């Protein structure tokens, strides 16, 4: 059993570790099943990924309804609370960070890398920069941090489990309900199951604008999203706004301010698999640092992601993918804050539109 009772982006960044663990169990413990202890609402994506055999509905740090598993793996956090949650299941073996004689939360490279969190001058001048987060191993030397994907692969590697941090893809759901007059033949772009969609020909998909975020600190101002959507619509993009049911009002306000009809608002109207199908066929995805951004990474769809309180070196897309562009002002702050992060507010409409233009030109992300 692996514990990861968090959000969509958290699940997607743990897929390489989960896939490595599942292969290890198949080889070393044949007949065993890998269960994910996580939120019930994430079960469709967990099962779509093929990385686990089932999901045990679990709230963060709540008791896990599994008794005496052969192995319990803490992919939830540093502990001690999450590790204690797993101890209560009485596992035969427990893998977690910061256990006596075990793998440490802070990687060895971190002490040598120093504590620099931004390139020289970026935070001091207030200039944002395009920043893509991660090398082939997910770690950016010299920045004093570790990418979330790399962290959990490192934990498993300490126990002899090989993980490929590039295994971030998801299979493409085979159908997409018509939205805003846009639909595709469900067999035309089903993809290969690894996050790659096939050539769509000359018909572009919708441009997904996701204005919400898990906390106010991650939410870019509504009127700025509206300005971006308005310009892209004028440039011929078919805009749709996504979000949860709770974010429907936000998405509707952004659409109205952009001069777009309510029919463009899909927030609260798509289940999780339909959202995956939509993103997998998107022409472009624009969002803050949230789960939809990780779906764009999983499906290798062009994306512009706005980072505020947290560096993309920790949570952003891989460096080696020019289709993903991450903007960050180099300012760390509380990701659970009650107001938009200062670094997020430093990002402008013109900067976001410029990144869209650079995507069209096929420019590589710069640091």
pLDDT confidence band for 174 (50 / 70 / 90): confident
pLDDT for the residue 138: 36
What's the 3-state SS for the chain? CEECCCCHHHHHHCHHHHHHHHHHHHHHCCCCCCEEEECHHHHHHHHHHCCCCEEEECCCCCCCCCCCCCCEEECCCCCCHHHHHHHCCCCCCEECCCCCCCCCCCCHHHHHHCCCCCCCCHHHHCCCEECCCCCCCCCCCCCCCCCHHHHHHHHHHCCCCCCCCCCCCCCCCCCCCCECCECCCCCCCCCCCCCCCCCCCCCCCCEEEECCCCCHHHCCCHHHHHHHHHHHHHCCCCEEECCCHHHHHHHHHHHHHCCCCHHHECCCCCCHHHHHHHHHCCCEEEEECCHHHHHHHHCCCCEEEEECCCCHHHHCCCCCCCCEEEEECCCCCCCCCCCCCHHHHCCCHHHHHHHHHHHHHCCCCCC
Same domain, 256 and 348: yes
Res 183 pLDDT > 60: no
Domain check: are 118 and 90 in the same one?
no
Q: Note the pLDDT tens digit of each residue in 268-287.
A: 999 999 999 999 999 999 99
- Among residues 66, 95, 124, which one ends one of the domains? 95
Query: 187 burial class (0-12, 13-18, 19+ CB within 10 angstroms)?
Result: exposed
Averaged pLDDT of the chain = 85
Domain count, the chain: 2
Whether 279 and 138 map to the same domain: the answer is: yes
The answer on 318 and 174 residing in a single domain is yes
Nearest CA-CA partner of 324 in 350, 348, 289, 349:
289
At 353, is the pLDDT very low, low, confident or very high (cuts 50, 70, 90)?
A: very high
Q: Are 208 and 285 in contact (CB under 8 A)?
A: yes
Whether 153 maps to a domain, the answer reads: no
* 108 belongs to a structural domain: no
In a domain, 243, yes or no: yes
Residue 310 falls inside a structural domain: yes
Note whether residue 107 is domain-resident: no
CA–CA gap between residue 91 and residue 183 (Å, rounded): 48
Q: Are residues 70 and 122 in the same domain?
A: no
> Is there a single domain that holds both residue 205 and residue 76?
no
Q: Are residues 7 and 122 in the same domain?
A: no
Q: Which pLDDT belongs to residue 35?
A: 98
Q: What is the model's pLDDT at position 322? A: 84
- For residue 316, being part of any structural domain is answered with yes
Residues 126 and 38 in one domain: no
Domain CATH code at residue 313 = 3.40.50.2000
**Which domain covers residue 285, as residue numbers?**
114-145+168-367
pLDDT band, very low/low/confident/very high, at 360 (cuts 50, 70, 90): confident
Same domain for 121 and 265, yes or no, is yes
- pLDDT tens digits for 185-220? 433 343 334 554 444 444 679 999 999 998 999 999
Do 192 and 85 fall into the same domain? Answer: no
pTM: 0.86
For residues 88 and 201, state if they share a domain. no
The answer to whether position 192 is within a domain reads yes
**Residue 40 within any structural domain of the chain:** yes
In this predicted structure, which of 88-102, 136-150, 237-251, 265-279 has the lowest mean pLDDT? Answer: 136-150
User: Domain check: are 323 and 362 in the same one?
Assistant: yes
């Amino acid at each position: 059993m692996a514990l990861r009772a968090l959000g969509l982006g958290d699940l997607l960044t743990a897929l390489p570790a989960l896939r490595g663990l599942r292969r290890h169990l198949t080889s070393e413990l044949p007949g065993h099943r890998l269960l994910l202890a996580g939120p019930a609402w994430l079960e469709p994506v967990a099962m779509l990924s093929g990385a686990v055999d089932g999901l045990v509905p679990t709230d963060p740090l709540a008791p896990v309804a599994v008794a005496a598993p052969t192995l319990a793996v803490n992919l939830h956090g540093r502990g001690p609370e999450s590790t204690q949650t797993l101890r209560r299941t009485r596992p035969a073996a427990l893998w977690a960070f910061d256990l006596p004689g075990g793998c440490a939360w802070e990687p060895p490279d971190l002490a040598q890398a120093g504590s620099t969190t931004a390139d020289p001058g970026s935070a001091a001048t207030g200039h944002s920069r395009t920043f893509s987060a991660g090398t082939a191993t997910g770690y950016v030397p010299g920045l004093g941090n570790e990418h979330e994907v790399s962290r959990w692969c490192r934990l498993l590697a300490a126990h002899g489990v090989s993980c490929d941090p590039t295994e971030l893809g998801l299979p493409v759901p085979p159908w997409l309900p018509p939205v805003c007059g846009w639909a595709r033949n469900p067999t035309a772009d089903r993809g290969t199951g690894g996050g790659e969609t096939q050539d769509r020909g000359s018909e572009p998909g919708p441009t997904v604008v996701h204005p919400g975020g898990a906390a106010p600190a991650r939410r870019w101002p509504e009127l700025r999203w509206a300005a971006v959507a308005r310009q892209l619509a004028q440039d011929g993009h078919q805009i749709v706004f996504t979000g949860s049911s709770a974010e429907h009002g936000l998405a509707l306000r952004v659409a109205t301010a952009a001069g777009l009809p309510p029919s463009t608002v899909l927030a609260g109207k798509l289940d999780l698999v339909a959202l995956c199908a939509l993103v997998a066929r998107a022409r472009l995805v624009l969002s803050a640092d949230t789960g939809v951004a990780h779906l764009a990474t999983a499906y290798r769809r062009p994306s512009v992601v706005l980072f505020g309180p947290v560096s993309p070196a920790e949570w952003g897309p891989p460096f080696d993918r020019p289709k993903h562009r991450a903007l960050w002002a180099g300012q760390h702050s509380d990701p659970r804050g009650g107001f938009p992060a200062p670094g997020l507010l430093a990002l402008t409409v013109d900067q976001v539109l410029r990144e869209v233009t650079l995507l069209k030109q096929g420019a590589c992300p710069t640091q």
